[in-house]
Amino acid sequence: MSYDFTANELFSPVPCCVDVLKKENLRPHLLVHPRMVPEFDGVDTKDPNCVVVADAYDHFTFENLNNCFRKLLDMDKPILISLGIGKYYMDDDGLALDVGGFTKCLEYATGVAPRIIGKPSSEYFMMAASDMKLSPNEVCGNNYWSNALLEK
């Protein structure tokens, strides 16, 4: 099975997160894969007032997670944003932990509930529907969880 689409027809959580950060005057401490960092150009990261976690792959180290933990504890009103909450995914060499496990680690350690901007959050799907100028009943997700969110 194959699909014919262009890059501008894809909807990624990173641009959504960047929009949220700018609109809400949030300055993130980023735990993302280095290839994602350029997508946050134009976002003020000085004196962070939130932590953003995405699929950092092998950059999910103790040191990096502990830095996020400490940043959250040092904030007056800590905000944890995750670009998804998936448990795992199939990588080239087998199953791999997804961002959700690392987000839950930070949530458990800090008591800060994450704001999910990505799968399977209803906020993310509503942003995608709005971007495509569709109503929620005209959209279907790509799995059971996303479809269940849209039915609410």
Span 39-64, average pLDDT:
96
Q: If pLDDT is split at 50, 70 and 90, which confidence band does 6 have?
A: confident
Of the candidate CATH numbers 3.40.50.1000, 3.40.50.720, 3.40.50.300, 3.50.50.60, the domain formed by 7-118 belongs to: 3.40.50.1000
Comparing 13 with 147, which gets the higher pLDDT?
13
Token pair 């959209």 in the structure block, residue: 139
Q: Characterize 75-91 residue by residue with b for buried, 16 or more Cβ atoms within 10 angstroms of its Cβ, and e for exposed.
A: beebbbbbbbbbeeeee
Q: For residue 150, what pLDDT band results from cuts at 50, 70 and 90?
A: very low
Instruction: Supply the pLDDT for residue 141.
Output: 61
Q: Can you give the pLDDT at residue 118?
A: 81
Q: What is the mean pLDDT of residues 98-120?
A: 94
Q: Could you please report the per-residue DSSP string of the chain?
A: ------GGG---HHHHHHHHHHHTT--EEEES-GGGGGGGTTS--SS-SEEEE---GGG--HHHHHHHHHHHHH-SS--EEES----EEEETTEEEE-HHHHHHHHHHHH--PEEE-STT-HHHHHHHHHHTT--GGG---SSHHHHHHHH-
Listed by start position, the domains of the chain span 7-118, 119-152
The larger pLDDT score, comparing residue 141 to residue 39, is at 39
Instruction: Judge whether residue 133 has pLDDT over 90.
Output: no
For the segment 102-107, the average pLDDT, to the nearest whole number, is 98
| Mean pLDDT computed over 22-47 | 97
